[in-house]
Chains A and B, each alone.
Chain A
Amino acid sequence: MNKVKTLDDLRKMRETLRTTLDIREKSNHPEQMVQIRVSMATCGIAAGAKEIMNYFIEALDREKVDALVTQTGCMGYCYAEPTIEVAVPGKEPIVFGHVNKEKVDEIINRYIRQGELLDDIIPVTYTAIKPE
């Protein structure tokens, strides 16, 4: 692990990290580089997010869809936990709420594979400030 010694170090590191994260998001192989974020704050976990995350990983394996599943914090949609965000490269990320196992299968087969949206997706209701 390299220590960050100067502000320039940090800025350079930021650029490299951004590029790697970007590649992950904007790859030309959509099926391979789908990114799934599971909202895993205490409330999400209490609503079953952990089980859903595990099931998602299993289902993606089973369906042979190569995607990256990561955890993240609270998205704020408490009324619809567990919530997950699916980012298919080249498209706006979509938030799905009230996710259960059946919905996971639908997301993989209908949204990720065929680009079909599902009923009751959650519109993003906020603007977040963007990095520099």
Chain B
Amino acid sequence: MAQYSSYILVCGGTGCRASQSELILENLKEAVEQHGLQDTVQVIRTGCFGFCEKGPVVKMVPDNTFYVQVKPSDAEEIVLEHLIKGRKVERLLYVDPETNEQVPDSKHIDFYKKQLRIALRNCGFINPENIDEYIARDGYVALGKALTEMTPESVIKEIMDSGLRGRGGGGFPTGLKWQITRKVQAPQKYVVCNADEGDPGAFMDRSILEGDPHSIVEAMAINGYCTGANKGLVYIRAEYPLAVERLRIAIRQAKEYGLLGENIFGTDFSFDINIRYGAGAFVCGEETALIHSMEGLRGEATVKPPFPSEHGYKGCPTNVNNVETYANVPVILLRGAKWFSSIGTEKSKGTKVFALAGKVNNVGLIEVPMGTTLREVIFGIGGGIKDGKKFKAVQTGGPSGGCLTAKHLDLPIDYDNLLAAGSMMGSGGMIVMDEDDCMVAMAKFYLDFTVEESCGKCAPCRIGNKRLHEILQKITSGNGTIEDLNMLRNLAGVIKDTALCGLGQTSPNPVLSTMDNFYDEYLAHVEEQRCPSHQCRELTQYFINPEKCKGCTLCARICPVNAITGDRKVPHVIDPQTCIRCGSCIEKCKFGAIYVH
């Protein structure tokens, strides 16, 4: 029986495979056998290391040497030098671009890991339903420290100095918000956790609540101590049943341990948390609408000021923070503001969690330091674009954000850079699009969403967005004119300036940013009645190339509306009037004879 003492891991991610990692794997296996090492050394293929730009990568275990840009012809040398002679193959080691030094040893093996988990520190490590595991990983120490060794002012100062900004998307300085709530004199104050995660494609708040609910409980109690509130409320979507359940268990356990309730840590501070359920309206993520919903009123936004910090839940000062913001708080108190502010960019400190989705190979929940570039996220961690297609754009900030294009790939991600580039941080949805996606249709998709989710209170959002949507519908069906494009831009500007709340003020962003970056696509739709990505069905037509068609009749049999006709062994024809452009024929044709135009 084989008794393996070392392993060679070859990256089998899509990027590395494209540069012959399979052949490297074969060659390594062969070399291992030739040297008679097959019973002690195992060669295996792994998933993506997220370091595709330096691929193909090979990792040696247990000494953790990391070889980059390996070629199939290097296999023999790796086995002979590394395994037999015990010397590293220096020319294949990674060279740190900053220090210009090779990275040979296992101590620095983390260089390829661009992700740093602070908010997600416990997700995937602890059992979220067991408070003991949270405590073993420093849980509630920050609360104890705050209550017994620090004044509320000094805690707030620490949060301010850390540079933590609201992770729900707005990016308001968290410490400042706490201070404002603290300064207002009132007999009753509230602490609210905004867990009404509504951006399509974003699920970081759910993951934190499901993976590490105690971090939110602890942070809310710290917030209560600072702002002078003794009641906490979590506003969470009822369609997150598992998150609700785990949060409920966490609150119960914290009470049993005396970490919530009366006289916490023997001090005179008392704090309790209750849960309020939302029915899943997007606008209720806006703080004033959220508070109204909790009060049992309609989920509609009201004009700010007054801000919730002064006049919130039941008219009392209320501090509202997002789940991910809270998740950072205990760590800041334990490690200090200085440590936290050493991560990130000048004005955006710490890390940000993103839900990476769309046309990337490694769809996932990731956490990177602020200032990481889009390229590192999409082509590094994300493993590049699916099926080797070309990157076109990435939508950040969901329906409130905008799209960023290839020219923004090297932009360091932070609040201010994204705003300047015409998008926004938002809650952290990141949807990657490739060459097959139509940007006009994409803008229409987000408008579909905002039209549906508008609360209807103010006219710009209720009526304006509806009109925007109609114009986009007209354009994507081939009936648009140049005047429509001008109208689109003007109307978008008016909505932005006049809508009541964040939802309406940001809803035209997808339209404006796609117009800024992909105006030629809009023009193609209105001037030539053509959709360059062949996505807008009403603008596409399917054809059969008579030279390639063998007359096999497969497409005619597959077509759901019998739009394809033709005799056996004679090129077939598609009737454009009957064709519904479903694409089934293209998928099935073995000769590549069907094309879209």
A residues apposed to B, CB below 8 Å: 1, 3-7, 10-11, 13-14, 17-18, 21, 37, 39-43, 45, 70-80, 85, 92, 97, 114-129, 131-132
Among the stretches B142-150, B152-160, B224-232, B309-317, the one at the interface with A is: B142-150
Residue of A nearest to B243 (CB): A42
B113 touches A124 (CB 8 A): yes
- Let me know if B257 and A123 touch, CB within 8 A: no
Residues of A within 8 A of B44 (CB): 117-119, 121
Residues in B lying within 8 Å of A, measured CB to CB: 1-4, 7, 9, 11-12, 42, 44-50, 59, 61, 110, 113-118, 120-129, 132-133, 135-141, 144-145, 147-149, 203, 206-208, 210-212, 240, 242-243, 256-259, 265-266, 331, 334-335, 361-367, 381
Q: How far is the CA of A125 from the CA of B116 in the complex (A)?
A: 9
A-B CB contact pairs (8 Å), 20 listed: A3-B257, A6-B144, A17-B132, A21-B136, A41-B123, A41-B242, A72-B127, A72-B128, A73-B207, A74-B210, A77-B362, A78-B364, A79-B361, A116-B2, A118-B44, A122-B46, A125-B48, A129-B116, A129-B335, A132-B141
Which residues of chain A come closer than 8 Å to B206, judged between CB atoms? 41-42
Which chain A residue lies CB-closest to B59?
Answer: A123
On whether the beta carbons of B123 and A1 are closer than 8 Å, the reply is no
B140 touches A10 (CB 8 A): yes
CB atoms of B46 and A121 under 8 A apart? yes
Question: Which residues of chain B are within 8 angstroms of A78 by Cβ–Cβ distance?
Answer: 363-365
B256 partner residues in chain A, CB cutoff 8 A? 1, 3
Q: B266 contacts which of A6, A18, A119, A132 (Cβ < 8 Å)?
A: A6
Bound: A1/B117 CA distance, A: 32
Say whether B117 contacts A126, CB under 8 Å: yes
Write the nearest CB–CB distance from A29 to chain B, whole angstroms.
19
Q: Is the CB of B211 within 8 A of A72?
A: yes
With A78-B363, A79-B362 as contacts: A13 and B42 at CB distance below 8 Å:
no
Q: How far is the CA of A116 from the CA of B334 in the complex (A)?
A: 40
- Interchain CB contact (< 8 A) of B258 among A3, A71, A124, A129: A3
Whole-angstrom distance between the alpha carbons of A123 and B50 in the complex? Answer: 9
Bound state CA distance, A115 and B133, in angstroms? 28
Interface pair B135/A120, CB less than 8 Å apart:
no
Residue from A5, A11, A123, A127 in contact with B116 in the complex, judged by beta carbons closer than 8 Å: A127
| B46–A120 CB distance below 8 A | yes
Q: Kindly list chain A residues whose C-beta atoms are within 8 Å of the C-beta of B113.
A: 124-127
Q: Report A-chain residues with C-beta under 8 Å of the C-beta of B137.
A: 131
Cβ–Cβ < 8 Å partners of A121 in chain B: 9, 44, 46-47
Q: Which residue on B lies nearest to A93, using beta carbons?
A: B125
Q: How far is the CA of A130 from the CA of B265 in the complex (A)?
A: 25
| B400 CB to nearest A CB, Å | 23
Asked if A116 and B42 sit within 8 Å, CB to CB, the answer is yes
In angstroms, Cα B145 to Cα A45, docked, is 36
Contact B12 A4 (CB under 8 A): no
Residues in chain B near residue A13, CB distance under 8 A: 135
In the assembled complex, which residues on chain B have CB atoms less than 8 Å from the CB atom of A76? 120, 123-124, 364-367
CB distance from B156 to the nearest CB of A (A): 20
Q: Is the CB of A74 within 8 A of B135?
A: no
A6 to B129 alpha-carbon distance, docked (Å): 23
A20 to chain B minimum Cβ distance, whole angstroms, is 8
Q: Is the CB of A123 within 8 A of B148?
A: no
A132 touches B138 (CB 8 A): yes
Report whether B242 and A45 are in contact in the complex, using a CB–CB cutoff of 8 Å.
yes
Chain A residues whose C-beta falls within 8 Å of the C-beta of B141 in the assembled complex: 7, 10-11, 14, 132
Once the chains bind, are B364 and A77 in contact (CB under 8 Å)?
Answer: yes
A131 CA to B134 CA, complexed, in Å = 10
Residues from chain A with Cβ under 8 Å of B212 in the complex: 73
Contact B124 A75 (CB under 8 A): yes
Q: Are B381 and A125 in contact (CB under 8 A)?
A: yes
In the bound complex, CA of A61 to CA of B287 (Å): 51
What distance in Å separates the Cβ of B379 from its nearest Cβ neighbour in chain A? 14
CB <8 Å contact, A129 and B121: yes
CB distance from B127 to the nearest CB of A (A): 5
B124–A1 touching, CB < 8 Å? no
- Please, how many angstroms separate the alpha-carbon atoms of A18 and B138 in the complex? 10
A37 vs B211: C-alpha distance in the bound complex, in angstroms? 12
Take A7-B265, A117-B42 as given contacts and tell me if A17 and B120 are in contact as well, using a CB distance cutoff of 8 Å.
Answer: no
Residues of A within 8 A of B364 (CB): 76-79
Q: State the Cβ distance, B367 to closest chain A Cβ, in Å.
A: 7
A33 to B451, CA, bound (A): 55
Q: A14-B136, A72-B128, A80-B47 are in contact. Are A132 and B211 (CB under 8 A)?
A: no
Shortest CB-to-CB span from B337 to chain A, Å, is 15
B343 to chain A, nearest CB (A): 10
Name the A residues within 8 Å of B129 (CB-CB).
71
Q: Is the CB of A42 within 8 A of B242?
A: yes
A114 in complex: contacting residue of B1, B210, B365, CB < 8 Å: B1
Q: What residues of B have a CB within 8 angstroms of the CB of A73 in the complex?
A: 122-124, 126, 128, 207-208, 210-212
With contacts A5-B258, A7-B144, A129-B331 taken as known, whether A117 is within 8 angstroms of B135 at the C-beta atoms is no
B342 to chain A, nearest CB (A): 13
Q: Is the CB of B210 within 8 A of A119?
A: no
Complex-state Cα separation, A71 to B245, whole angstroms: 14
A92–B243 Cα distance when bound, in Å, is 30
Q: Are A115 and B3 in contact (CB under 8 A)?
A: yes
The answer to whether B124 and A125 touch across the interface, beta carbons within 8 angstroms, is no
Given A73-B123, A73-B212, 15 extra CB contacts under 8 A: A6-B144, A7-B149, A10-B265, A14-B138, A37-B125, A45-B242, A73-B124, A74-B211, A92-B61, A117-B44, A121-B9, A124-B113, A128-B121, A128-B125, A129-B117
